[in-house]
Chains A and B, each alone.
Chain A
Amino acid sequence: MKSAIAVCCVLAAAFLIAPHLYGNRSLLFSMMTFVVLAQGLNLLYGFTGYLPFGYVGFFGTGAYATSLLVLHTHVPVLGCVIIGGAGTALVALILGPLLRLSGAYFSIASLAASQILFNVVSNQDLSSITGGPYGLKIDRVYDPSASYLTMLAILLIATALSAYFRFSRFGMALRAMNQDPTSAAMAGINVVRERLIVWLVSATIAGLAGGAYAWNLSVFYPDAVFTLQISVFAIVFALFGGVGTVLGPIVGAILLYALYNAVGISAPQYFEFIYGLLIVLLVLFLPNGVMSLLTRRGVRVL
């Protein structure tokens, strides 16, 4: 428990001090966004074994819900982000029956669900409501530093949740379900309900992140918040660090996103190749992520 608080403090301090040392604040913001997404994905995949390929759907939903609230109501922006997160949870609740599937079929169905959300939002016929393919503009509330702090708060919430999942009785139940749902059900765990709770929590995190991201960008196209690449990044970052741990996704996201910015921007196709290769090698040789290098040597990793 103490170590979880320590991690939160270090993260908070690092991202509060970083803008003073390093000028590119939007890069730091994106990095936080991906740490949040990797952690949110880790909550679901790391603890229940359900890998949502369409995770970006929740991110986009949060972005759109928040922006539409900003445009049509007079709620303060922070309130919009929070209500946007709640709205994302509602969408996740509607999509809840997807959890009936398992394994890869769940992944593909969630990908299909995110494509549906994208196609609805970017549809020409709905331009009057969602802006269709032309996106939305909320630049009148543009505020990089407030949205930066909001994202940091979301990051701390996600980290705390992950620590809770790791050490609580609830998290223990999740791990039991992940290993053998039938036995877990026999042991008195309400498998369906607990899985749904994690799904909603994970979706809400992505929705909140999407809201804060939209606030930070303030002008965006549907492709920007629904691109499959966001899901891919979240998955690779989480896997690279090690799913089912608190530190894994954080370390993975920070390291790889920094690498991406160093190499990827100028030659995206080479970077895509390296990413693909990295995924293949990880799955084959290090399926539990870089954190497992430490656990193998007997270090207890948070």
Chain B
Amino acid sequence: MRMINIAHGQFVLLGGYGAFLLVQHLQLNPAYGIVLAVAGAIVIGLPLYAAVVPRLQASRDPEMLSFILFFGIAQMIDALLIVFFGADQRSLPEGALGSGSLGLLGQSFPDSWWVAAATSLAAIVGLYLYFTRTRLGFATRAIMANREEALATGINVQRVSAIAFVIGLALAGIAGVFVPYLLGSISPDIGDGLTTTSFAVIIIGSLGNPLGTIVGGLVFGVGTLLMQTFLPSWSNLVPYALLVIIVLIRPSGLLGKSVRTA
């Protein structure tokens, strides 16, 4: 899409805090956070897209400028989260997504992790179907491949891009609902780390390839776990080191076709 949303981690956090609000003030199950995330993505995403993207697209370097712009948005979200929620860590009630635990391969995982896994699996399958089975998905891929030609074939580039943007935000928000469970808590300062990790995962896989993203996620997860087991103090390095190493060996990602200009 050539629009880089560096505020991704902050949108994940918004999803997390949305779920937190639901639980805290309305006593609802955090799973409703998923609905809230989708609604929020539409309410925030469409106006945001309309306000910034057409202007950026007309500028001299849309990719780089969008990167800087979303960085500014990330700073604003961070600041707002601190103003409204404080800098403390927040967590969601333990048992809200089921209190038991299910074993797999001799390890037991809390129910909330299973729900998270099922949701992300559903999201991946959904994305895959969207890209391969729907007209909108075809149009999205056409724009990713070549914007000008897509425009020339009569695809409504602005509309399709806006939808893709909203889908991206919605997925970030949905992921955010589960972050408090997977990481134990959320706080405003983890956004940048989430962003770098998610970029590491997609670059390790390869850009614009949903299957690559799964591979990237697995490489990242297994790498981090191995490091945590054998060299715990170095485990924070894993996503960054993997990112740099893979970028240097295979700039197009593990599953990518090689592309390089000058």
Which A residues form the contact surface with B (CB < 8 A)?
Answer: 49, 51, 97-98, 100-105, 107-109, 111-113, 115-116, 119-120, 123-125, 181-182, 184-185, 191-192, 228, 232, 235, 239, 269-270, 272-273, 275-280, 282-284, 287
Judge whether B79 and A273 touch: CB under 8 Å: yes
Judge whether B244 and A124 touch: CB under 8 Å: no
Residues of A within 8 A of B240 (CB): 112-113, 115-116, 119
Which of B52, B64, B199, B247 contacts A49 (CB under 8 A)? B64
The distance in angstroms between the C-alpha atoms of A184 and B65, with both chains bound, is 23
The distance in angstroms between the C-alpha atoms of A44 and B196, with both chains bound, is 22
Query: Which partner residue on chain B sits nearest A280 by CB separation?
Result: B72
Which of A104, A112, A120 contacts B64 (CB under 8 A)? A104
Q: How many contacting A-B pairs (Cβ < 8 A)? A: 130
The distance in angstroms between the C-alpha atoms of A184 and B261, with both chains bound, is 12
Which of B55, B233, B241, B247 contacts A124 (CB under 8 A)? B233
Judge whether A276 and B74 touch: CB under 8 Å: yes
Q: Determine the interface band of chain B, counting residues with CB < 8 A from chain A.
A: 35 or more
* Centre residue among A104, A111, A277, A278 by max chain B CB count within 10 A: A104
Query: Which partner residue on chain B sits nearest A192 by CB separation?
Result: B262
For the complex with contacts A101-B251, A102-B261, 4 further pairs of A-B residues with Cβ separation under 8 Å are A104-B67, A108-B203, A119-B234, A272-B79
The distance in angstroms between the C-alpha atoms of A119 and B76, with both chains bound, is 26
Q: Supply 6 A–B pairs (Cβ within 8 Å), ascending by A.
A: A101-B247, A113-B244, A181-B261, A239-B68, A282-B72, A283-B65
Which B residues form the contact surface with A (CB < 8 A)?
Answer: 4, 6, 52, 55-56, 59-61, 63-69, 71-80, 82-83, 192, 196, 199-200, 203, 233-234, 236-237, 239-241, 243-244, 247-248, 251, 260-262
The distance in angstroms between the C-alpha atoms of A278 and B75, with both chains bound, is 10
The distance in angstroms between the C-alpha atoms of A288 and B176, with both chains bound, is 35
Judge whether A98 and B82 touch: CB under 8 Å: no
Judge whether A100 and B260 touch: CB under 8 Å: yes
Residues of A within 8 A of B236 (CB): 119
Q: A100-B248, A115-B240, A191-B262 are in contact. Are A280 and B64 (CB under 8 A)?
A: no
Query: Which partner residue on chain A sits nearest B87 by CB separation?
Result: A269
The distance in angstroms between the C-alpha atoms of A194 and B67, with both chains bound, is 25
Which of B52, B233, B244 contacts A284 (CB under 8 A)? B52
Q: A105-B203, A115-B196, A287-B65 are in contact. Are A272 and B60 (CB under 8 A)?
A: no
Judge whether A275 and B248 touch: CB under 8 Å: no
The distance in angstroms between the C-alpha atoms of A104 and B203, with both chains bound, is 12
- A55–chain B nearest beta-carbon distance, Å: 13
Residues of A within 8 A of B82 (CB): 269, 272
